[in-house]
Chain A
C-alpha cells in the first residue's frame, strides 16, 4: 500500500519537477513569482489536444500503451506553440512593464491577470468538460510488492528524465545556457560581460515554455485535461521550487518528487479531500525552517 503510494507519488513528482524547474528559473532570472506560469502547462496540454483532435485521434495504439504514434507529432507541435506563447505573453505583458522598470509586485500582479485571461480563453475554446488524448484501455503492469503501474506512466517517467538530461546539457554546454546562468547570478555583471539580459530572458521564457508544455502534456496523458489544471498545480509547483531553493534545478527536481510523494502519502492520515492542502503546508514549513530552500543560497 505504502509502496504503491510512493510509486504514484514519484509519477506525479516527475511532472511537478518539470514545472518546478520553469518556476525556479523564472524566479531566478525574471526575478518575480510568475503566477501565470502554471497556465503554460494548460496551454501545452491543450495545444497537444488540439493537434490530436485535428488528426482525428492519436492513431492506432502502440501496444501496451493507450496512445498511438501521432501523439509524438502533437507533442512536438505543442512544444513549439507553447514556447512561442510564452514569448508572446512576455512581449505583450511583461516587457512593457520591465521597460517602465515596474517593481516585482506589479509584475506578480500582471501575472495574476494574465493567468486569468489564459485560463478563461482555454475554457472558452475547449469548454469546461474533462478531456483525454485517448480513451483506449491499457493493462496495468504488476511489479513485485503488489505495485501496479500503467504503461503510460513509464513513458511519462522516461520523458521527464530525458527532458531533464536535455535541459542539463543546454544549461551547461551552450552559450545560451551559460548566459542564463550568468544573468541569474548577477545581471549587472553579466551585462558588462556583453551578455544581453533581454536575450537571456527570451531564452528563459522559451525553455520554461517548452518544459511547461511537456509537463502539461504528460499530466494530460496520465490524469486528464481541464482548463483549471494549471491553476490547481500552481501551489504544488511553487512549493517544489521554494523547497528546492530558488534557482536550483536539482533542487526543483527533488522538491517536485518530495511534494508528489508527500501528497500521496498524506492520504494515509488525512481524508483525500484535504490532499490539496499538503503542498501548502510544506511551503509554510519551508518558509519558517529554511526559507532559502534545500539547495538555495540565502540572499
Chain B
C-alpha cells in the first residue's frame, strides 16, 4: 500500500513539474503562436542553475554556494529569463519555421555545452548531491511535502498565467497570434509583445527545471534530451493548446500514459527487449501526438485556434438558425 502511495506521490510530483513547463509553452505557442522547438533547453538551464547554486562544495565543478532552496528557485528563474532574453532578441524576427529551427538548434547547443563544459556542469557525469529540501524527513513525508510544493507552484503558475492571459496584455497576444498585421496596424508593437511572452514562458520552463533538480537530487545531460521537448509538446497538444487547464490536464494524462507504458514494458516484455523499452514509449507518444493533430486538432480542452473558424457544431447551428452563433 505504501509502495503504491509513494509511487502515486512521485508520479503526481513529476506531472506537476511537467505541467508548469507546459503552462509556459502554452503562453508561447497557445497564446502567441511562437514555435519553440527547444523547450528542453530552458528546462535544462533552470535545472543546472538550481544545481550549481545549491550543491555542496565538490572539487569537480563549480559548487559550494549553497543558496537556500527558495532563493535558488528565484535565481534559476532569473537565469532562464536572462538566457531567454538573449535568445529571444536574437530570434524574434525570424519566420515561424526558422524560429523552430533556431530554438531546436539552441537546445542542441545547450545540451552539448552541458556535456562538455566539465568545470561548470560536471560534464557527462552530471552533478550529484543536489540537496533535496526536507530530505531529513522519512521518505514518504519528504515526498508528500515536495508534492505539496510542486503542486502549489503549479497552481500558482496557473493562477498567474490565467490572470495574465485574461488581462489586456493577453488579449493583444492572441490578436498577434491570429493576425499579426492587424495587431500591428492597431499600434501594438508585435516584437515587444512576442519577446515578453517568449521570456515569461521560458521562465516557467526554468522553474520546472529547478523543481526537477531539487526533487531528483541529481542532474545529468542525459536527462535533458530532445525527447523531453516532445513530451511537453505532446502534453500541450493533447490537452489543448490555448487553454491553461488543457495544459495541466494534458501534462497529467500524457505523463500517466508514459509512466504506465513504462510499467507495462518492465512487466510484460522479455528482459532481452527491455533496454529498448524507451523506444516503445517514444513510438507511442509520437503516435498519440500525430493522432491528436489529425483527429482532434484542438486537443481535449483546447480553445479554437481561430475563433472565427467554422467548426462542425457551429456549421450545424448556422444551418439551423441561418446565422453564425
> With A33-B101, A117-B286 in contact, do A97 and B90 touch (Cβ < 8 Å)?
no
Residues in B whose Cβ lies below 8 Å from that of A100: 294, 297
Q: Is A277 part of the contact surface with B, judged by Cβ < 8 Å?
A: yes
Smallest CB–CB gap between B38 and chain A, Å? 11
The answer to whether A235 touches B104, judged by C-beta atoms less than 8 angstroms apart, is: yes
Main secondary structure of the interface of A (DSSP, over half): helix
Q: Is B32 part of the contact surface with A, judged by Cβ < 8 Å?
A: no
Q: Quick one: which of B97, B116, B289 has the most chain A CB within 10 A?
A: B97
The answer to whether B35 touches A116, judged by C-beta atoms less than 8 angstroms apart, is: no
* CB-CB nearest in chain B for A33: B97
Number of interface residues of A (CB under 8 A): 43
Residues in B whose Cβ lies below 8 Å from that of A276: 108, 112
> With A128-B276, A235-B105, A273-B115 in contact, do A114 and B290 touch (Cβ < 8 Å)?
yes
The answer to whether B289 touches A113, judged by C-beta atoms less than 8 angstroms apart, is: yes
Residues in B whose Cβ lies below 8 Å from that of A238: 101
Q: Which of B8-16, B52-60, B277-285 contacts A (4 or more CB under 8 A)?
A: B277-285
The answer to whether A284 touches B102, judged by C-beta atoms less than 8 angstroms apart, is: yes
Q: Is A123 part of the contact surface with B, judged by Cβ < 8 Å?
A: yes
* CB-CB nearest in chain A for B237: A109
* CB-CB nearest in chain A for B277: A124
Chain A residues 107-166 with CB under 8 Å of chain B are: 108-110, 112-117, 119-121, 123-124, 127-128
> With A116-B230, A124-B279 in contact, do A108 and B100 touch (Cβ < 8 Å)?
yes
Smallest CB–CB gap between A286 and chain B, Å? 10
Q: Choose from B95, B108, B276, B293 the contact partner of A113 (Cβ within 8 Å).
A: B293
> With A116-B227, A116-B285 in contact, do A280 and B35 touch (Cβ < 8 Å)?
no
Q: Per-residue CB proximity of B284-313 to A under 8 Å, as 1/0?
A: 011101100110010000000000000000
- Taken together as a complex, chains A and B put the C-alpha atoms of A124 and B282 apart, in Å, by 11
Q: Is B88 part of the contact surface with A, judged by Cβ < 8 Å?
A: no
> With A97-B294, A109-B293, A276-B108 in contact, do A116 and B282 touch (Cβ < 8 Å)?
yes
* CB-CB nearest in chain A for B34: A105
Main secondary structure of the interface of B (DSSP, over half): helix
The answer to whether A127 touches B282, judged by C-beta atoms less than 8 angstroms apart, is: no
Chain B residues 204-248 with CB under 8 Å of chain A are: 226-227, 230, 233-234, 237
Residues in A whose Cβ lies below 8 Å from that of B233: 109, 112
Q: Is A295 part of the contact surface with B, judged by Cβ < 8 Å?
A: no
Q: Is A189 part of the contact surface with B, judged by Cβ < 8 Å?
A: no
> With A123-B276, A284-B90 in contact, do A33 and B109 touch (Cβ < 8 Å)?
no
The answer to whether B108 touches A235, judged by C-beta atoms less than 8 angstroms apart, is: yes
Q: Is A271 part of the contact surface with B, judged by Cβ < 8 Å?
A: yes
Q: Choose from B33, B102, B112, B227 the contact partner of A277 (Cβ within 8 Å).
A: B112
Residues in B whose Cβ lies below 8 Å from that of A287: 91, 94, 98, 102
> With A93-B294, A114-B286, A276-B108 in contact, do A283 and B97 touch (Cβ < 8 Å)?
no
Residues in B whose Cβ lies below 8 Å from that of A231: 226
Q: Is B141 part of the contact surface with A, judged by Cβ < 8 Å?
A: no
The answer to whether A105 touches B96, judged by C-beta atoms less than 8 angstroms apart, is: yes
Q: Choose from A35, A121, A127, A280 the contact partner of B109 (Cβ within 8 Å).
A: A280
Q: A105-B96, A280-B106 are in contact. List 7 more A-B contacts (CB 8 A).
A: A110-B294, A113-B286, A117-B290, A124-B283, A127-B276, A128-B276, A238-B101
In the A-B complex, list the 5 residue pairs whose CB atoms are closest, starting with the nearest: A116-B286, A117-B286, A280-B105, A33-B97, A120-B279
User: Which residues on B are within 8 Å of A, measured CB to CB?
Assistant: 33, 35, 37, 90-91, 94-98, 100-102, 104-106, 108-109, 112, 115-116, 226-227, 230, 233-234, 237, 275-276, 278-280, 282-283, 285-287, 289-290, 293-294, 297
